[in-house]
Amino acid sequence: MRVKICGITQPEQGRAIANLGATALGFICVRQSPRHVTPAQIRTIVAQLPSRVDRIGVFVNASGEEIGQIVASTGLTGVQLHGDESPEFCRQLRQSLPGIEIIKAFRIRTSQSLSEIDAYCDRVDTLLLDAYHPQLSGGTGETLDWKTLAQFRPPHPWLLAGGLNPDNVLDALKLLNPSGIDLSSGVERSAGDKDLTRVERLFQKLNALSL
């Protein structure tokens, strides 16, 4: 299973989390976020990562030009769009960034929220489903209503996000069968400061599930 830990801000934590088993790390490229990192910070962190680890930049309503510049200057392998980006924007971005994974995040409020996903399915590579918050785009710590996704069977790989932590992740995976999971606040001491003990406990739970 793909395991993405998002909101990485410190090189030593990024390296340790990768060594614990993360398959992807996320970097918040949104200036208003308490987890924001600059391109220079991203370069410093990814320089210490094994090549097997995906490096995902998270953007909210950024221009295609800004995204392209950051991808080119940091060595990101994927882009996660967490705002109101249109299907057409996703299509254009996919064309302009060949070889770069395009992930589109959706904040799910009700089962009806899933209907908007169809328009994106041939424009992106991966879907991410997060909890809805009226003011915040992500990293809220709020749990998604997993029952809403009981019948969710998209044509693309998808990541489950929204309030996951070492204590509830197995409950979510008993109900759903995502391609991967995405955690941020659920393995933090404070915004951008990961708790490596909690990360280790997460992988202990996941490893026990796969036995």
Tell me what pLDDT residue 130 has. Answer: 93
| pLDDT 10s digits, 180-211 | 999 999 999 999 999 999 999 999 999 988 75
Rounded mean pLDDT of 61-74?
98
Hey, which residues are catalytic here?
6, 130
Is the predicted pLDDT of residue 70 greater than 70, yes or no?
Answer: yes
- Rounded to whole angstroms, how far apart are CA atoms 57 and 28? 6
Above pLDDT 90, what percent of the chain?
82
| pLDDT 10s digits, 89-122 | 999 999 999 999 999 999 997 677 798 999 999 9
Is the predicted pLDDT of residue 138 greater than 80, yes or no?
Answer: no
Q: Which residues contact 148 (CB under 8 A, 6 or more apart)?
A: 108, 110, 111, 113, 114
How is residue 154 written in tokens? 């998209």
Tell me what pLDDT residue 192 has. Answer: 96
How is residue 168 written in tokens? 């509830």
Sequence length of the chain is 211
Per the CB < 8 A criterion, the answer to whether 57 and 71 are in contact is: yes
Is the predicted pLDDT of residue 135 greater than 50, yes or no?
Answer: no
CATH superfamily of 2-210: Aldolase class I (3.20.20.70)
Is the predicted pLDDT of residue 173 greater than 60, yes or no?
Answer: yes
Q: What residue ranges do the domains of the chain occupy?
A: 2-210
| pLDDT 10s digits, 23-46 | 999 999 999 999 999 999 999 999
Rounded mean pLDDT of 152-162?
94
Rounded mean pLDDT of 72-78?
98
Tell me what pLDDT residue 178 has. Answer: 96
Per the CB < 8 A criterion, the answer to whether 75 and 43 are in contact is: yes
Q: What is the pTM of this model?
A: 0.93
